[in-house]
Each structure stands twice: as structure tokens, then as C-alpha cells.
Structure 1
């Protein structure tokens, strides 16, 4: 049990370091872009208010990051940023509403970054938040006669190119760190499987059922079958140990008593059975494979593919093809 917790702590620590490193580089890139914009609008565009607006953004972002950067977690900082950034960008959208669509592009990395740091529901929430802000900007432009600074189109081409380049770099950065974090989770799960296999022992003939608390077995089965606890992507044997207030070894003993080699074998059986149920009952033309495996508790496709092939003997794609063939017949 202690080893399991240490492994989880190490994994979480490494993931947190990667997220903080991403934020560090993101702040550097954003501040650099803001400096370029300040110089562009001051010397080339002759826009005094926009120059001041970008200067305030640069000072605020850099100052807050330097002050609170080491006091809060990566997720907390990103949640605050993903609320504030669209609000800050809303004025830029209002100014360039009729002359450039590039200001909308700055909002695109927000839900992408949310996918790296937060849950699927939170991603949808931030996407709706961005849509709401865009709608409010549209409403203001259509119903209020507010005068904003105007800039010639031939000059805006330069700022649009800068903005597209900035977003491209940010999206590449997000995908790079998303890949690294995924690899950490895959490596951790692979190590966990090997560790569980080493710890699993064959139940001897003299094994007595009196060693097992049938009430805990019943509660565990109820959690997995009726409450579908396996859908939690962070579920671990440590979580179950804490929930039932018993040690790691005792949970392992219960799992072997139920006929499974180890915790991962037990957990993945439930997840794969749920995946198969969804595949058989869903319209596979309308439902994505990603929705199906995340709904069952798998955090990434690489792990899902490996576990599915290991248990079913075929890949998910091959299994889907078999289902479609059966339905046609």
C-alpha cells in the first residue's frame, strides 16, 4: 500500500512539473508577443490606446506570474487564466470585429489548453464560456454605437500574421506537453501492471473463506457493477483501500478471491465489458471511439487499445468490424 501511494505521488509530481513548465513557456511566448504588438501599434499602427492596452496586459501577466507562480498549482493557475484571458481579449474582438477575424483565433487555444489540464466536462464549460463572450461582443457591436480606434486593412495584415504565428506556436506547445504527460501515464500504468503481477500469488487449496469479509466483497461488487466506480480514470487499489479502511494486501486478497490475478485485471475487465456494451448498443456512425473508451474510464487510447487486445484477442477496430458484420447479417 505504501509503495502504491509513493508511485502515485511520484507520477502526480512529474505531471505537475510538466504542466508548470508548459505554463512557464506559455507566459514567455505570450509576453514576447505582447512586446511585439506594443512596438507594432506604437511605431507602425499609431494606435495609442491599443498600445496602452497591450502594455497593461504585459505588465499584469508578467507581474501576476512572478508573484503567484510558485504559490498555486498548475491547474489553479490555468483555470484563472482561462477565465481572465477571454475577457481581456473581448475588447480586442470589439475593436477589430469588422476588419479582422484574427482576434477570434486567440480564443482557440483556450479549450485546447483546458483539454491538457482539466476534465472533459470542464473543457465543454470553457468552450461554452468562449461562445457566450463572443455572443456578447456581437450584441454590443450590433446594438451600441461605440467608436473604437480604426486601422487600415493593409496594416492589419501584419498583425494578423503575427497572431496566427502565435497561435500556431501555442498549439504546438500544448500538443507537445500533452504527449509527454500521456507517456507518463502509460509508463506508470505499465509499471503498475508489472508490479501487480509480481505481487499476485496463487490461492492455495488450504485457503479459508473465513479470511474474507463477504460484506466488503458485496459492497465492492455493488460499487463496480451498480455505481460503476470503474468509470473513474483515477481509480486505484489505494483508493479502494482508503474507502473500505483496509490495507492494500486485503483488497488484493479479495480480488484474487473473486478469481482475478490482480487489481488491474479486475478493473480492466469491468471497463472492457462496459466498452463492449457501448459498442453493441450505440450507433457507431454517430458515436466516436474516444467517447466510448473515456466513458469506460480509460484515460488515453494507447492504454485502451493495449488492454482491449490483451483481453479480447482482437483490436477495437476489428471488434467494431465484427459487430457491423453481425448487424448486417
Structure 2
């Protein structure tokens, strides 16, 4: 169960990083447009908000998802205030297209949170939209510069196209996470299934050989972010087939299969006396582990002893 959760968290971290890249590009497009058209106060709002996102990208790269999940919660609320200001501006001039951005909030929340939290975010987004109609009448007339009809049309087109693309982005990764959850729930059932036809035998045997050759030649396990999704893409296969053949052939799930390769590499490095030349951190990160605690736990689960005990047993030292 922990291995599948770890794989889901890797995907969630990937979503965070890619989303930040995407939002910076979107903000850049709108900022350039608003500056070119000299639309106040949106040109300053989008420029400042875009600059704020740049250090967030480095933050997302630096920390694991265990910390990022708290950032996601704060960020969604923070981002909603920006969307709220944008919606206020356009509703001043009778434009409802900006409300589409709020649809992204519950869709994105489905990737990171349980159903109850998603429902709360949906209610929160709906409440923000409703409050726009209450707040706008209190904004002084002439406070904001009215865009031309041509400018409003361009913004509406950009908003519809980009928001739909963002929703599709989150739905794609939501589908991947749900697929991993489904595989985890069905792995014991799959383990007992038999391949019943010669065609299936040949197909699965070839896929299994391709997996072994891929791991031998490419050594993907050295990448701590490597997932079964990436393996399926590189082998032009799908996640279900790969998960099934690994369970049938290796009697373990993909995460354990991957970690066995990593532990074997660690043992090879120890046999080559790397522990006397480099730090233990260099050894386990070279094999695809991020943290020593995870490395120690996986090593003991597979070998039955700790890394230090393994080294002592082979008459070596750290």
C-alpha cells in the first residue's frame, strides 16, 4: 500500500511542477496583452502575480510531496483571491467568462484531496462567484478602465480556450492516479489470473522480455521519479498490461520490482568498495533513492538485514 501511495505522490508532485510552469506561461500571455493594450489595473495585477510564481517553481522542485501537499492547500485559497479580483473586474462590464476559471478549483482539488475536501472547495468556489454579484455594486464607478469590445472578445476567447486546456490537464493526471489506485485494489486478484490463450502468452512474454531489456539497458530505476506510467509510455504499452505481467512473472507489484533493481545496484556498488570511497548518501541516491530512511527500510524489507549489517557481514566498513 505504501509503495502505491508513494507512486501517487510522485505524480502529484509532477502535477504541481508542471502546473506552475503552465500558470507562469498563462500569466505571461495575459500580462503582455494587458500591458500592450494598457488595461488598468489588470496589467499590474497579472505582472506581480506572475513574478510571485517564479520562486514557487524552485520550491516545488526542492521539496517532496509530503511538504508540498500543505502548500497546495494554501495555494488554492491564495489563487482563488486572484481569480476573484479578475472576476470582479470583468463583471463590472457585464462579462461572465472569467467565472470559468473557478471551475478549475474543484477539478484540481480532486487530484490532491479526499472527496469531502473537494466538495468544500466546490462550495467555496460557488460562494466566491455569488459574492461577486454582491460586491460589484459597491465598487466606485470609473474605478477601473473599461476595455473595448474588441479587447473583451479576445480575452473571452483566451479565457475559454486556456481554461479548458487546464481542466483537461488536471483530468489527465487524475485519471492516472485513479488507475494506480485501481491497480492497487486489484493486484491480488490479478495475481491469481491465468493467461489462457497462446496469443496472450506470446504477447505477455514479449512484453516481459522488453521490460527486462529496458531495465538492463536504460537503468531507469536510477531516476527517483521513474514510474510505471513512464515505463508504459517508453515501451508503447499500457499500465495495466505492465502491472499484470510483473505481478504474474515476479510475484510482486511494480514498486517492489523497481526497488529490487535499486537494491541490487547498491549491493554492486558495495561489492566494488564504493562505501569506502563515497558517502552512503552518494550510493543510495545513485541507485534512485531520495532519502536514507526510505533506503534503509526498503533494503531491510528485501534483504532481511540493514545496510550496515550487510556490509559488516561482507567484512567491509562504511
TM-score, structure 1 normalization: 0.53
Q: Supply the distance in 1 between the matched residues of 2:192 and 2:73 (Cα, whole angstroms).
A: 36
Report the CA distance shift for 1:182/1:115 in structure 2 as closer, same or farther (over 3 A).
same
Which structure 1 residue ranges, 5 or more long, are not aligned? 1-7, 198-329
1:164-183 matches, within 5 Å, as 164-183=160-179
Partner of 1:47: 39
Q: Supply the distance in 2 between the matched residues of 1:67 and 1:18 (Cα, whole angstroms).
A: 16
Judge conservation of contact 2:35–2:43 (CA < 8 Å) in 1: yes
Aligned residues between the structures: 189
Q: Supply the distance in 2 between the matched residues of 1:193 and 1:71 (Cα, whole angstroms).
A: 36
1:130-169 matches, within 5 Å, as 130-145=125-140, 147-169=143-165
State the Cα distance separating 1:190 from its structure 2 match: 2.0
Secondary structure at 1:145's aligned position in 2?
A: coil
Q: Are 1:63 and 2:55 an aligned pair?
A: yes
Corresponding residue to 1:26 among 19, 33, 40:
19
Partner of 1:101: 96
State the Cα distance separating 1:174 from its structure 2 match: 1.1
Q: Supply the distance in 2 between the matched residues of 1:103 and 1:152 (Cα, whole angstroms).
A: 16
Report the CA distance shift for 1:187/1:26 in structure 2 as closer, same or farther (over 3 A).
same
Report the CA distance shift for 1:185/1:85 in structure 2 as closer, same or farther (over 3 A).
same
Judge conservation of contact 2:13–2:60 (CA < 8 Å) in 1: no
1:6-17 matches, within 5 Å, as 8-17=1-10
Partner of 1:85: 79
Report the CA distance shift for 1:90/1:72 in structure 2 as closer, same or farther (over 3 A).
farther
Q: Supply the distance in 2 between the matched residues of 1:24 and 1:51 (Cα, whole angstroms).
A: 25
Q: Supply the distance in 2 between the matched residues of 1:93 and 1:16 (Cα, whole angstroms).
A: 32
Secondary structure at 1:96's aligned position in 2?
A: helix
State the Cα distance separating 1:138 from its structure 2 match: 1.9
1:255-274 matches, within 5 Å, as none
State the Cα distance separating 1:140 from its structure 2 match: 1.6
Judge conservation of contact 1:95–1:149 (CA < 8 Å) in 2: no
Secondary structure at 1:113's aligned position in 2?
A: helix
State the Cα distance separating 1:65 from its structure 2 match: 3.2
State the Cα distance separating 1:193 from its structure 2 match: 3.7
Report the CA distance shift for 1:72/1:131 in structure 2 as closer, same or farther (over 3 A).
farther
Judge conservation of contact 2:40–2:144 (CA < 8 Å) in 1: no
1:119-130 matches, within 5 Å, as 119-130=114-125
Q: Supply the distance in 2 between the matched residues of 1:144 and 1:157 (Cα, whole angstroms).
A: 23
Partner of 1:76: 70
Q: Supply the distance in 2 between the matched residues of 1:72 and 1:48 (Cα, whole angstroms).
A: 38
Q: Supply the distance in 2 between the matched residues of 1:40 and 1:140 (Cα, whole angstroms).
A: 27
State the Cα distance separating 1:52 from its structure 2 match: 1.3
State the Cα distance separating 1:48 from its structure 2 match: 4.5
Q: Supply the distance in 1 between the matched residues of 2:87 and 2:191 (Cα, whole angstroms).
A: 53
CA RMSD of aligned residues (A): 2.0
State the Cα distance separating 1:127 from its structure 2 match: 1.4
Q: Supply the distance in 2 between the matched residues of 1:109 and 1:180 (Cα, whole angstroms).
A: 18
TM-score, structure 2 normalization: 0.55
